Amino acid sequence: MKLAFPKAEYVKRVKKVQREMRRKGIDVLIATDPGNMNWLTGYDGWSFYVHQGVIVSLDEEEPIWFGRHMDKSAALLRCYMKDDKLIAYPEEYVQNLDKHPMEWLAKNIFFARGWHDATIATEMDNYYYSAQAHLSLVSNLWKARFVDSQNLVNWARCIKSDKEIEYMKIAGRITSKIHQRILDVARVGIPKSFVVAQIYETAIEGVDGYSGDYPSIVPLLPSGKEASASHITWDNKPFKANEGTFFEVSGCYKRYHCPMSRTLYMGKPSQRFLNAEKALLEAIDAGLEQAKPGNKTSDIAKALDKVMLKYGIDRHGARCGYPIGVSYPPDWGERTFSIRASDDTILKSGMTFHFMPGIWQDDWGIEITESILINDDGCESLCDYPRKLFIK
On whether residue 1 sits in a domain, the answer given is no
Backbone conformation region of residue 268, classed left if phi is above 0, alpha if psi is from -120 to 50, else beta: beta
Give percent above pLDDT 90 in the chain: 97
137 and 226 in a single domain? The answer is no
Alpha-carbon distances of 319 from 61, 304, 343, 371, rounded to whole Å: 38, 11, 9, 15
Q: Count of CB atoms within 10 A of residue 365's CB?
A: 24
> Which amino acid belongs to residue 56?
V
pLDDT of residue 162: 98
Identify whether 231 is part of a domain.
Answer: yes
CA distances for 382 relative to 211, 249, 372, angstroms:
18, 14, 5
Q: Cα–Cα distance between 259 and 151 in angstroms, integer? A: 22
* Residue 135: predicted pLDDT: 97
Same domain, residue pair 139 and 169: no
Same domain, 176 and 90: no
- The b/e string for 87-111 (b: 16+ C-beta within 10 A; e otherwise) is bbbeeebbeeeeebbbbbbbeebbe
Q: How many domains does the chain contain in total?
A: 2
Q: Is residue 2, in this structure, part of any structural domain at all?
A: no
Of 127, 156, 185, the one marking the end of a domain is 156
Which of 156, 176, 198 is the last residue in one of the domains?
156
Residue 300 · residue 319 · CB < 8 Å: no
Whether 15 maps to a domain, the answer reads yes
| CATH (domain of 323) | 3.90.230.10
122 shares its domain with 190: no
Contacts of 274 (CB under 8 A, 6+ apart): 389
So what's the pLDDT on residue 315? 87
Residue spans of alpha helices (H) in the chain:
7-24, 34-41, 72-78, 101-105, 131-140, 152-156, 162-185, 192-205, 271-289, 297-310
Q: 359 phi and psi, to 5 degrees?
A: -120, 115
* 222-257 tens-digit pLDDT: 999 999 988 999 999 999 999 999 999 999 999 999
Instruction: Kindly tell me if the per-residue pLDDT of 137 is higher than 80.
Output: yes
Taking residues 41-50, report their average pLDDT. 97
Domain final residue pick, 100, 124, 156:
156
Q: Tell me the C-alpha distance between 55 and 52, whole Å.
A: 10
Give 2's pLDDT tier (boundaries 50, 70, 90): confident
Mean pLDDT of 315-341: 95
Residue 324's SS3 state is: strand
Contact 239, 263 (CB under 8 A): no
Q: What is the mean pLDDT of residues 112-133?
A: 97
The whole-angstrom separation of Cα 241 and Cα 308 is 28
Output the pLDDT for position 265: 98
Residues 91 and 227 in one domain: no
pLDDT at 311: 94
Radius of gyration, alpha carbons of the chain: 22
DSSP 110: I
Question: 281 in a domain, yes or no?
Answer: yes
| Closest to 107 (Cα-Cα) out of 60, 141, 56 | 141
Q: Identify the domain containing residue 322 by its residue range.
A: 162-391
- Global pTM reads 0.96
pLDDT per residue over 60-89, tens digit each? 999 999 999 999 999 999 999 999 999 999
DSSP track, 200-262: HHHHHH-BTTB-----SS--B--BGGGGGSTT----SPBP-TTEEEEEEEEEEETTEEEEEEE
CATH number at residue 62: 3.40.350.10
317 confidence band (pLDDT: 50, 70, 90): confident
Q: Calculate the average pLDDT of the chain.
A: 97
Instruction: Write the CA distances from 137 to 105, 267, 388, integer angstroms.
Output: 8, 58, 51
Strand partners, 346: 296
In this structure, the answer to whether residues 152 and 166 fall within a common structural domain is no
The reply to whether 258 and 371 lie within a common domain is: yes
Q: Where do runs of H (alpha helix) occur along 79-191?
A: 101-105, 131-140, 152-156, 162-185
Q: Are residues 168 and 126 in the same domain?
A: no
Give the per-residue pLDDT at 316. Answer: 85
Q: Tell me, yes or no, whether 318 lies in a domain.
A: yes
Residues 144 and 181 in one domain: no
**Is 370 a residue whose pLDDT tops 90?**
yes
**Is residue 36 domain-resident?**
yes
Pair 86, 142 in one domain = yes
**Do 215 and 85 fall into the same domain?**
no
CB atoms within 10 A of CB 314: 9
Report d(CA 331, CA 252) in Å as an integer.
12
Asked, for residue 93, whether it belongs to a domain, the answer is: yes
Is residue 216 within 8 A of residue 329, CB to CB? The reply is yes
Q: Name 15's Cβ contacts closer than 8 Å, sequence gap at least 6.
A: none
Q: Are residues 353 and 265 in the same domain?
A: yes
